[in-house]
Chains A and B, each alone.
Chain A
Amino acid sequence: MSFSVYLPVAGNAVNVFLLFGLGGIVGFLSGLFGVGGGFLMTPLLMMIGIPGTIAAASDSNQIVAASASGTIAHARAGSVDFKMGGLLLAGGLLGGSLGVVLIKLLRRAGEANFVISATYVVMLGGIGGYMFVESLQGLRKSRGGGDAREGDLRPSPFARLVESLPLKVRFGRSNVTFSVLVPLFFGVVVGALAAVMGVGGGFIMVPVMVYLLRMPMHVVVGTSLFQILATCINVTILQSAVNHTVDVVLVLVLLLGSVIGAQLGARASRKLRADQLKILMSIIVLAVMVKMLLGLLLRPDVLVSYEGGH
């Protein structure tokens, strides 16, 4: 009995249950943490024999389904800040274009590969490590009887700078007030980084919203999903029109798993406390960082790869 399905654009056959399971796990993480999961899914798809360009493009189409499913679950619970999400998104689109130009310049200088790998490892290590330590302290504090809410305001130089910016707006859902320039700025930075690293950027955006924009964790997850949804719609249409790299058969099997996973993840997300969510997320980010680092340090099995993959 063969349980494989042939993927016409990828030009290969893959086990249906394997794809379904992958979709389910990554969808669960997506609903739980508000990340797209591309940083996990794309390398996993490549491992099972799907060319890199097709894995990345099809994954963004799959994320459309999972994040639509997650967004609606969070919107129903009132945990999507559309105003904040819209501003981050606008910045993200601009930043994405900047990132593409940046890569071109790096390629010309011949340093692109190193810069991309180094950025990835440093970003993941920094974000994961900080989240881990911070949420561990939060957990200890709450065990000690103190209320460890995000938003313990410490007037840092950063906070004073944010305070001095014009165009202040109140973001009701997130319960914060600051200049519209702040989310726009972070949108640009994360968009540029995401373009350089070739990922959606959810796992950078989530910590930015938690630590720099001081949004409550549950609103962060919903808002991040909303923003990822919009980004991935854009990427899917562009990839289909320009590169013809979206495989809908692959997408259909993946999304059958991921939409269900995303719903379960969104439920689990409401049951867990903010610090617990953050510590789980930091462990995943650190694990991806270790995997990337090993990929750089260990001798690969085959010393050549087709152009187009990573």
Chain B
Amino acid sequence: MAAHARREGAARRAPGATRGPACLPLALLLLLLVPAAARATTAPAAPVPSAPAGADPLGPERLEVYPEEVGVDLLFSGATLHVRGAVPAGSDAAILCTGQETRLKLKRRGRVWGVLWMNVADVVFERVPSVYVLCTSVPLARLGPPELLERLGVGFGSVEARALPRDPSRDQREAFPELVRLKRREGLFDLVEGSVLLGRGERDRLDASTDLFLPARTPPGGYRIALFSFRQGEGALVAEATAVIRQTGVAAFVSRTARERGLLYGIVAVVVAIAAGLSTGALFGRGARGAH
């Protein structure tokens, strides 16, 4: 079974690099425009978060996450978090990464007069995580019964249970699966079955590890990463850790200025745009005269 998991894990999509060599001219241009922000640095790594006492009979476990802090600058194109922990021998495992829960307001599309597709209703969900990426060692249904998974918060069923009120409206019930599709398309929700690799660990434990991919549109913030073990219809939270995604350098400078000094930002944006337009105009004008 471990071999099977390994094969599936290897077949998983290639994780994106945290930073890559790209668009040098643009970066240079930006550096010229915002010299104060040129001192782009990767934020120092935060201290290793202490793992809470797990419910596992083997006692408190550590969950290693690398990197624990991801700096997001102009070359950011998504991050891969390497996660490693241990589960009791003979178990299956799930590793879950969740972002902060927020209230989410959506427009639901529906048919009007039988022919036109338009926004027909506003739908509100009270608690939806910004990110929900679940990696498992075996197909989700084999980990345990749905009630167990829901109690542990593992699987989209548990996300639905938290997002919907006790007495959901028809709009809410119909819109939730569509929300999951929208989020999966964005890469913010994901279920990658067979991507947790189980290997021989210390004493009577198994090493459980995976590569969690977070796409470029992952909102900055703190993320909870949890390891669960499952055996014979039972399951438990084994260990938890956190990772932080934070804008740094030029990206942080731009978004901070846009937020905090909107008017100045707008005026500078207009001046830069006019200057770019006029200077190309002048350049082309000279070129045209030269050509005639």
Give A residues with C-beta under 8 Å from B.
1-6, 8-9, 11-13, 16, 49, 61-62, 64-73, 76, 113-114, 117, 233, 236-242, 244, 246-249, 251-253, 255-256, 259-260, 262-263, 267, 295-307, 309
Contacts and interface: CB of A to CB of B under 8 A. Distances in A.
B141 interface: no
A88 to B, nearest CB: 20
A4 B22 contact: yes
Nearest to A2: B20
B65 interface: no
B77 A4 contact: yes
A70 B274 CA distance: 11
A8 B270 contact: no
A251 B26 CA distance: 11
B109 A300 contact: yes
B284 A240 contact: no
Given A248-B254, A307-B105, A239 B266 contact: yes
Contact of B115 (A65, A71, A253, A297): A297
Contacts of B268: 248
Contacts, number: 215
A242 B117 CA distance: 31
Contact of B23 (A3, A114, A240, A302): A3
Contacts of B247: 8
Given A237-B263, A244-B265, 6 more contacts: A64-B270, A68-B273, A70-B277, A113-B119, A297-B116, A303-B175
A251 B118 contact: no
A67 to B, nearest CB: 7
B173 interface: no
B129 to A, nearest CB: 15
18 contacts: A1-B21, A2-B16, A2-B21, A4-B20, A4-B22, A5-B74, A13-B217, A61-B273, A240-B269, A247-B258, A249-B254, A252-B26, A255-B276, A262-B280, A295-B117, A298-B117, A303-B175, A304-B107
Interface in B154-206: 174-175, 178-179, 181-182, 185-186
B46 interface: no
Contacts of B280: 69, 259-260, 262-263
Contacts of A306: 104, 106-107, 182
Interface residues of B, number: 71
A248 B110 CA distance: 35
B108 interface: yes
A62 B251 CA distance: 19
Contact of A6 (B72, B106, B281): B72
Nearest to B104: A306
B266 A263 contact: no
Nearest to B34: A248
A64 B281 CA distance: 13
Contact of B284 (A2, A73, A305): A73
Nearest to A310: B119
Nearest to A116: B118
B78 interface: yes
Contact of A8 (B112, B118, B254, B276): B254
B262 interface: yes
Contact of B17 (A2, A246, A296): A2
A120 B143 CA distance: 52
A64 B22 contact: no
A299 B117 contact: yes
B23 A5 contact: yes
A6 B258 CA distance: 15
B278 interface: yes
A246 B219 contact: no
Given A12-B216, A16-B23, A267-B288, A244 B258 contact: yes
B107 A2 contact: no
